[in-house]
Amino acid sequence: MLQKCEGIVIRTTDYGENNKIVTLYTREFGKVGVMARGAKKPSSRLSAVTQLFTYGHYLFQASSGLGGLQQGEMISSMRSIREDIFLTAHASYIVDLTDKVTEDKKANPFMFELLLQTLNYMNEGYDLEILTFIYEMKMLNVQGLYPVLDRCTNCGSTEGEFHFSIRDGGLLCHRCFETDPYRIKISPGTVRLLRLFYLLDLSRLGNISVKPETKAELKKVISAYYDEYSGLYLKTRKFLDQMDSFRDRL
Ligand SMILES: [Zn+2]
């Protein structure tokens, strides 16, 4: 049976001389793997539509295993992402994270929309780090992780100054600071943004301007939380960190 879908290429692997195995994240079916026969040949009509990050309409032959890609019609090649190494590094991490935290053939239109919007915003030149933080915060629930951001994890208080406790998985108020000597010290601005990113409807993202110190705090908290709870070790994350420190030295 032929199936139509709207999808984004989140992974490609060469297969044999001429073929590619392409992983699409689709609006209709969630993550789907398809074989794109001949797609490695530049002359193939499947060549352009199977490039990483491409957004388009796809037609594939469904099967219990790997489907066969029949046709693709490009909506966006995400060209700016592909042409810039920093953009590519961030977007590669985003699609890799999506691939790792999702199961095959489990539709999640909310996640499709989030992925599409994030890549579109990156392609249009929005702040890469902010978009990556938001995506990471929004992917937590998908992984069954629920950081406590609306109150102190220890006493439940919603008032006061807050730091972040990795051990307790959330905010810790100033009355409870001493219960975790390893808590991460963060500013009130960072607390606000962690909450905002966790809850924000991405389609309502305006121009958020964030100070470098605040970005550094956000990165510290989100990275440490992922390291502790996600169980993921992504090469694309490591590459992204290397690119960021490289850029900071420029
Ligand atoms: Zn407390």
Question: Ligand 1 mean position to 161 CA, how many Å?
Answer: 9
Q: What are phi and psi of 12, to 5 degrees?
A: -135, 140
Question: Ligand 1 mean position to 182 CA, how many Å?
Answer: 15
Among residues 194, 189, 195, 203, which one has the least CA distance to residue 223? 194
Instruction: Tell me the pLDDT of the chain (250 aa) as tens digits.
Output: 899 999 999 999 999 999 999 999 999 999 999 999 999 999 999 999 999 999 999 999 988 888 999 999 999 999 999 999 999 999 999 999 999 999 999 999 999 999 999 999 999 999 999 999 999 999 999 999 999 999 999 999 999 999 999 999 999 999 999 999 999 999 999 999 999 999 988 888 877 889 999 999 999 999 999 999 999 999 999 999 998 888 777 7
Question: Ligand 1 mean position to 222 CA, how many Å?
Answer: 21
Question: Ligand 1 mean position to 145 CA, how many Å?
Answer: 21
Each residue's pLDDT tens digit, 108-141: 999 999 999 999 999 999 999 999 999 999 999 9
Question: Ligand 1 mean position to 169 CA, how many Å?
Answer: 13
Question: Ligand 1 mean position to 206 CA, how many Å?
Answer: 33
At 229 the pLDDT is 97
Assigned token pair, 45:
């009509």
At 151 the pLDDT is 97
Dihedral Cα 217, 218, 224, 226, nearest 10 deg: 180
Q: Where are the alpha helices (DSSP H) in the chain?
A: 79-83, 85-101, 109-123, 128-142, 188-199, 212-229, 235-249
Question: Ligand 1 mean position to 82 CA, how many Å?
Answer: 46
Question: Ligand 1 mean position to 163 CA, how many Å?
Answer: 10
Question: What is the model's pTM?
Answer: 0.94
Question: Ligand 1 mean position to 188 CA, how many Å?
Answer: 15
Question: Ligand 1 mean position to 155 CA, how many Å?
Answer: 4
